[in-house]
């Protein structure tokens, strides 16, 4: 697989074969600054082992508008494809989460004496830009190190798969402005193509192939009682073996997975970088006429080199990722930029979002794969002592988890309208269940009485799919038949224990549904013999103390075929719906001066309603996302 990136376009330029894309994901945040967008291409070829275990990802808008994350993951062993896909889908947002945590712990602030907290011996005037860059690099290194450790533990906890002799490499690049950060695990490789004074391309190797033949790696393995030996028919390839067994014989010293050797060393399989030199790869990329030709050229060059250099060996899967900073191909500058959302009806789409502080989270990414093009937005309302942790975790993890579930199902199904909706339903239900299972194994945070709602909207062409869990809500704003006024259509059901079906399920599992004396109309869920925790909804992520008693994480999924009269959707937390009706919210959003201001107008109206309410003790958190299918105010968007 090959991926090439430059600054021009975020389109995927198709290769001749679907095999070029099936193991790769392109993820573009909706707020990506088009000025910094990178063009890219990808290509993949399986080796002689039937199953391609390579995975790759490009994430544009990573962490900020100009950030780009790229990663290549080479799986090995019986379940290597599972590990590489899991790492591909999980690592980017885990990195962002860890970086955010590191930033909070290590804030660069001035103290009362005018000295940077992070630079104890320097005053404001003496801190240089280099100091700040070095500090940010240190934070990234800390975040990357912790992310890799956490992810390896998560892989070990995955059920239904044996990863004792299966794993994956990982080579990752993070570009933030003019800074490039490289992280490598195993024997995949990253190189930089740079021009010399003679305008020739020169390859600079950015990573070290972590193999047991490296003295420091071998010393560590042997100190842990692992053995480093080569096979007689491969004397040039050192491998890692158990102390007393001639197994498994793995050819790298670091990787995700491979838990049989984690007490003794680590593993790998030869790949493209073993048979093409750095200069050969850089030359292929420079001489290619297009991004897709560059990616394909690297892979096909590697395949040919395999056959020449190792004629008796099985050709390995080939994966590459190549991000040139300036396009070498002038014609690329004239390609049309992709719209915020690709739609079969060419509808122009505008999103706006606003959240009041604390635990409400919103999500507005662009999800792109070679097999589908859709947009997703969501609102997540946390509750309980660690509700902010749950809502952030779900916001960060659910989109890629959902995308992965959909891709897995699309691989074996031909394009079909009815089947496509069925696949979406299955992917949503499966991803929600997996998300809840992942939350349950978080070790550092007690989520027994903490959780979050989730209301998610997916638009694909003229299809609108709503998934709801808890008491956040989605409505549709549409022009009435008289074409004079906007009317609302509720798209989701508030999952409250007062609903007969919900209450019956909870009671059938020995949970109790009772209202407090001061608010008897608001039913809550309690443990069988204790007045706790008093959850005000019947479905949620988290809240594991109530999961045995009828609180579930199964979403309601609904579908609507959009019509020309359908104008927008609003997703909002219960802080909005507790004080404003559906029609009021639709009217406020529709009458906003611009679509971009609609969400702010909704939240502002809700907060004003809370303040007017004589019985309210506090103002609840209010979060709204407004997704317009047509641009009503063309002058508001340049």
Domain extents for the chain?
A: 24-101+133-203+281-322, 374-628
Residue 572 makes CB contacts below 8 A (sequence gap 6+) with 379, 472, 473, 585, 602, 606, 622, 623, 624, 625
Structure tokens at 331: 């014609």
Residue 558, classified by CB atoms within 10 Å of its CB into exposed (0-12), middle (13-18) or buried (19+), is middle
Hey, how many other C-beta atoms are within 10 angstroms of the C-beta on 371? 14
pLDDT the model gives residue 266: 75
More confident residue, 224 or 135: 224
pLDDT the model gives residue 632: 60
Q: Does residue 326 surpass a pLDDT of 90?
A: no
Rounded Cα–Cα distance for residues 523 and 535 (Å)? 9
Residue 411, classified by CB atoms within 10 Å of its CB into exposed (0-12), middle (13-18) or buried (19+), is exposed
Domain 374-628 has CATH 3.30.2290.10: no
Rounded Cα–Cα distance for residues 469 and 539 (Å)? 6
Rounded Cα–Cα distance for residues 147 and 225 (Å)? 27
Average predicted confidence (pLDDT) for the chain: 76
Say which CATH topology domain 24-101+133-203+281-322 has: Phosphatase 2c; domain 1 (3.60.40)
In this structure, of 196-200, 328-332, 416-420, 454-458, the range with the lowest mean pLDDT score is 328-332
pLDDT band at 68 (very low <50, low <70, confident <90, very high): confident
Rounded Cα–Cα distance for residues 290 and 288 (Å)? 6
The answer to whether residues 126 and 115 touch, using CB atoms and an 8 Å cutoff, is no
Residue 173 makes CB contacts below 8 A (sequence gap 6+) with 68, 69, 70, 71, 180, 181, 182, 190, 321, 323
pLDDT band at 382 (very low <50, low <70, confident <90, very high): very high
The answer to whether residues 573 and 381 touch, using CB atoms and an 8 Å cutoff, is yes
Question: Quick check: helix, strand or coil at residue 54?
Answer: strand
Rounded Cα–Cα distance for residues 184 and 634 (Å)? 46
Give the pLDDT mean for 273-286.
51
pLDDT band at 279 (very low <50, low <70, confident <90, very high): low
pLDDT the model gives residue 291: 56
DSSP-derived pairing of the beta strands 39-43 and 12-13:
parallel
Q: Provide the β-strand partners of residue 183.
A: 172
**Cα-flanking dihedrals φ and ψ of residue 58, to 5°?**
-120, 130
Closest-CA residue to 582 (of 567, 598, 571, 597) = 571
Rounded Cα–Cα distance for residues 432 and 410 (Å)? 18
Rounded Cα–Cα distance for residues 183 and 321 (Å)? 13
Question: Quick check: helix, strand or coil at residue 527?
Answer: coil
Residue 609 makes CB contacts below 8 A (sequence gap 6+) with 579, 580
Rounded Cα–Cα distance for residues 7 and 324 (Å)? 8
Q: What is the distance, to the nearest Å, from the Cα of residue 508 to the centroid of all Cα atoms in its chain?
A: 37
pLDDT digits over 474-491, tens only? 999 999 877 778 999 999
In this structure, of 79-88, 413-422, 482-491, 542-551, the range with the lowest mean pLDDT score is 413-422
Q: Does residue 513 surpass a pLDDT of 50?
A: yes
DSSP 539: B
Preceding amide of 248 cis, omega within 30: yes
**Cα-flanking dihedrals φ and ψ of residue 428, to 5°?**
-65, -50
DSSP-derived pairing of the beta strands 373-383 and 360-363:
antiparallel
169 half-sphere exposure, CB direction, 13 A CA radius: 33
Q: Does residue 557 surpass a pLDDT of 90?
A: yes
**Cα-flanking dihedrals φ and ψ of residue 156, to 5°?**
-65, -30
Phi-psi region of 16 (alpha: psi -120 to 50; beta: other; left: phi over 0): alpha
Q: Does residue 405 surpass a pLDDT of 60?
A: yes
pLDDT the model gives residue 449: 94
pLDDT the model gives residue 635: 30
Residue 344, classified by CB atoms within 10 Å of its CB into exposed (0-12), middle (13-18) or buried (19+), is exposed
Asked if the domains at 24-101+133-203+281-322 and 374-628 fall in one CATH topology, the answer is: yes
Q: Provide the β-strand partners of residue 230.
A: 238
Hey, how many other C-beta atoms are within 10 angstroms of the C-beta on 382? 28
pLDDT the model gives residue 135: 74
pLDDT the model gives residue 370: 33
Radius of gyration of the chain (CA): 26
The answer to whether residues 625 and 599 touch, using CB atoms and an 8 Å cutoff, is yes
List the strands of the sheet with 238-241, edge to edge. Answer: 227-230, 238-241, 248-250
Give the pLDDT mean for 323-352.
32
The answer to whether residues 470 and 573 touch, using CB atoms and an 8 Å cutoff, is no
Rounded Cα–Cα distance for residues 184 and 207 (Å)? 7
In this structure, of 246-250, 415-419, 574-578, the range with the lowest mean pLDDT score is 415-419
Q: Provide the β-strand partners of residue 42.
A: 3
pLDDT band at 29 (very low <50, low <70, confident <90, very high): low
Rounded Cα–Cα distance for residues 437 and 400 (Å)? 15
Structure tokens at 106: 């290590």
Residue 306, classified by CB atoms within 10 Å of its CB into exposed (0-12), middle (13-18) or buried (19+), is buried
pTM here? 0.53
Angle formed by the axes of helices 80-105 and 387-410, nearest 10°: 150
pLDDT the model gives residue 16: 36
Give the pLDDT mean for 180-205.
83
Residue 458 makes CB contacts below 8 A (sequence gap 6+) with 374, 375, 376, 424, 464, 465, 466, 467
Give the pLDDT mean for 169-192.
85
Closest-CA residue to 38 (of 390, 262, 307, 321) = 321
Structure tokens at 142: 């800390």
The answer to whether residues 163 and 151 touch, using CB atoms and an 8 Å cutoff, is no
Give the pLDDT mean for 204-218.
87
Q: Does residue 536 surpass a pLDDT of 50?
A: yes
List the strands of the sheet with 566-572, edge to edge. Answer: 350-355, 623-628, 566-572, 473-479, 486-490
Give the pLDDT mean for 311-334.
45
Strand runs labelled E in 386-494: 451-452, 454-460, 463-469, 473-479, 486-490
**Cα-flanking dihedrals φ and ψ of residue 544, to 5°?**
-70, -20
């Amino acid at each position: 697989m090959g991926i090439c990136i430059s600054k021009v376009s975020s389109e995927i330029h198709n290769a001749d074969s679907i095999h070029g894309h099936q193991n790769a994901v392109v993820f573009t945040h909706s707020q990506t600054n088009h000025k910094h967008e990178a063009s890219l291409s990808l290509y993949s070829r399986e080796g002689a082992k039937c199953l391609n275990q390579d995975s790759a990802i490009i994430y544009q808008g990573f962490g900020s508008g100009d950030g780009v994350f790229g990663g290549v993951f080479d799986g090995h062993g019986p379940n290597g494809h599972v590990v590489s896909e899991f790492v591909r889908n999980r690592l980017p947002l885990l990195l962002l989460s860890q970086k955010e945590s590191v930033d909070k712990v290590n804030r660069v602030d001035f103290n009362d004496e005018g000295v940077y907290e992070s630079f104890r011996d320097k005053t404001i005037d003496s801190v240089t830009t280099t100091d700040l860059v070095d500090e940010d690099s240190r934070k990234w290194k800390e975040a990357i190190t912790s992310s890799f450790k956490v992810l390896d533990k998560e892989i070990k906890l995955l059920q239904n798969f044996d990863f004792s002799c299966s794993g994956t490499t990982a080579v990752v690049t993070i570009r933030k402005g003019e800074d490039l950060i490289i992280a490598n695990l195993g024997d995949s490789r990253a190189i930089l193509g740079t021009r010399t004074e003679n305008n020739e391309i020169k390859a600079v190797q950015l990573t070290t192939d972590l193999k047991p033949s490296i003295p420091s790696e071998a010393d560590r393995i042997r100190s842990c009682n692992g053995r480093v030996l080569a096979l007689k028919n491969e004397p040039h390839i050192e491998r890692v073996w158990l102390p007393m067994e001639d197994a498994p014989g793995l050819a790298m010293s670091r990787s995700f997975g491979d838990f049989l050797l984690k007490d003794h060393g680590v593993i790998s399989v030869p790949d493209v970088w073993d048979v093409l030199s750095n200069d050969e790869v850089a030359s292929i990329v420079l001489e290619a006429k297009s991004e897709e030709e560059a990616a394909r050229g690297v892979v096909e060059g590697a395949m040919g080199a395999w056959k020449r250099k190792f004629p008796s060996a099985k050709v390995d899967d080939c994966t590459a990722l190549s991000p040139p900073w300036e396009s070498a191909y002038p014609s690329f500058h004239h390609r049309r930029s992709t719209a915020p959302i690709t739609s079969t009806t060419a509808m122009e789409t505008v999103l706006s979002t606003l959240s009041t502080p604390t635990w409400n989270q919103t999500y507005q990414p662009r999800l792109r794969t070679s097999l589908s093009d859709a947009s997703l937005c969501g609102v997540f309302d946390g509750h309980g002592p660690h509700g902010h942790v749950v809502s952030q975790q779900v916001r960060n993890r659910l989109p890629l988890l959902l995308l992965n579930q959909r891709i897995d199902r699309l691989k074996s199904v031909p394009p079909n309208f009815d089947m496509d909706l069925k696949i979406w339903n299955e992917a949503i239900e499966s991803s929600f269940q997996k998300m809840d299972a992942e939350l349950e194994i978080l070790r550092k945070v007690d989520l027994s009485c903490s959780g979050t709602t989730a209301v998610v909207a997916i638009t694909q062409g003229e299809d609108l799919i709503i998934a709801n869990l808890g008491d956040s809500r989605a409505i549709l704003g549409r022009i009435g038949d008289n074409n004079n006024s906007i009317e609302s259509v509720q798209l989701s059901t508030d999952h409250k224990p007062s609903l007969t079906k919900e209450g019956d399920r909870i009671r059938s599992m020995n949970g109790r549904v009772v209202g407090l004396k001061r608010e008897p109309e608001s039913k809550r869920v309690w443990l069988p013999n204790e007045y706790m925790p008093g959850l005000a909804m019947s479905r949620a992520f988290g809240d594991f103390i109530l999961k045995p008693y009828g609180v579930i994480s199964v979403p309601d999924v609904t579908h609507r075929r959009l019509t020309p009269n359908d104008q927008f959707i609003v997703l909002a937390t219960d802080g909005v719906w507790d004080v404003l009706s559906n029609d009021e919210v639709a009217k406020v959003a529709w009458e906003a001066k611009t679509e971009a201001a609609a969400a702010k107008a909704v939240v502002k109206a809700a907060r004003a309603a809370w303040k007017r309410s004589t019985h309210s003790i506090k103002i609840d958190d209010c979060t709204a996302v407004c997704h317009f299918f047509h641009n009503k105010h063309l002058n508001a968007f340049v």
